Amino acid sequence: MPVKPRGASWQAAVSHKGTRIRKDFPTKLEAEIWEAETKAALLSGKEVNPVKASKPAITLQQLFELVAETRWKGTKGEKTALINGQDVVNILGPSRAAKSLCYEDSLTIKKTVIARKRADATINRKLAAFSVLVKEALKLGELDKPFDIGLIKERNTRVRFYEDSEIEAMLKWCDEMCEDELRDYIVVSLDTGFRQGEVLKITKRDAELEDLWTYDTKAGDKRDVPLTARAREVLLRRAKPLNDPDAKLFTQKPAWYREHWKSMQSDLKMVDDHNYVPHVLRHTFVTNMLLHTDIRTVQELAGHKRIETTMRYAKTSAERKRLAIKRMSDYQGAEIGG
């Protein structure tokens, strides 16, 4: 019987006097050598002990599918974990034997993702997914010992937020281009700090409440944000013509907002700014709030689980710091004058 592939390994089989002897090998050449030597031994009358067929090697794709089903399925971060895990598999090769994983693979992942010009945090998410695959391979006995994954130290980069002049330019463009839907989306995002998915889930029922509530899928709990006068005006105006309390106030698909945002970005000559994206509206909300209240309150409004996340937004521009000091001085002046 010829040598044949079996998963990520090669299987050789020899039949003799009603007994079939099988054995798996990592390479085709090793399987062929064993087959030839075993046949020669049998023909010369030597006894060959039957070899129990070894367990087929698990491929990296099979390992990923096992982890996806047993470790990531049903978790809050399932979607992201699956994307990063499959990307790691594609980078290293789906048909790779899980038992061949090694430290050099973490370097390959780093080099590949860095070449895509992705952020440090993105690289670490890929490496974190790879770490889970390695740990599972160890538990299955595919790997003999663990090895260092080597997460990279993330650089302390400045958080991008929109200056008042940039926001003014956005709203002016929307008015001139009759982009009412995009304008309302920008205002609500700026004044609530909601993520895009949260904004698009707002219903007529939500708009009629005292505060705006949302289920924060990232933090895993609910949070409420009091509404500014202009945000309330937008929501009540959009809710007024609707009859169904569960009707969505923003009905366009995410792709629609991306396309219209890109048109605005192009017209405002901001195409070279790769951080000029809708999510920065949320960054701007947090940054603005830090000028008016304490960091713990901002943490709750933003729905950040860790205070360290909120603290990243405190590193704002010199202009904003001067503004904060000026407001404090104005307040002290008013107190003294009173």
Supply the pLDDT for residue 234. Answer: 94
**Run of H or E including 279:** none
User: How many domains does the chain contain in total?
Assistant: 3
Supply the pLDDT for residue 157. Answer: 61
Supply the pLDDT for residue 319. Answer: 57
**Pair (180, 31) in one structural domain:** no
**Pair (174, 228) in one structural domain:** yes
**Pair (242, 119) in one structural domain:** no
Q: Is the pTM of this model over 0.85?
A: no
Question: φ, ψ for residue 248 (rounded to 5)?
Answer: -75, 140
**Pair (173, 288) in one structural domain:** yes
**Pair (117, 182) in one structural domain:** no
Query: Domain holding 218: CATH number?
Result: 1.10.443.10
**Pair (307, 170) in one structural domain:** yes
Buried b (16+ CB within 10 A) or exposed e, 277-316: ebebbbbbbbbbbbeeeebeebbebbbbeeeeebeebeeb
**Pair (220, 172) in one structural domain:** yes
Alpha-helical runs (H) found in the chain: 28-43, 60-67, 78-92, 103-115, 120-139, 164-176, 180-192, 196-199, 204-207, 229-239, 254-267, 280-289, 295-302, 307-311, 318-337
Confirm whether 53 is domain-assigned. no
- Tell me which residue range forms the domain holding 171: 164-330
Tens digit of pLDDT per residue, the chain (338 long)? 578 876 667 788 887 666 777 777 878 888 888 888 888 887 777 776 655 545 667 899 999 999 999 999 988 788 899 999 999 999 999 999 998 999 999 999 999 999 998 888 889 999 999 999 999 999 988 888 899 998 887 665 667 889 889 999 999 999 999 999 999 999 999 999 999 999 999 999 988 887 777 755 555 567 888 888 999 999 999 999 999 999 999 999 999 999 999 999 999 999 999 889 999 999 999 988 888 888 899 888 888 888 888 887 776 545 566 666 776 787 777 655 54
**Pair (85, 231) in one structural domain:** no
Q: For residue 224, which of 215, 232, 233, 235 has the smallest C-alpha distance? A: 215
Supply the pLDDT for residue 87. Answer: 96
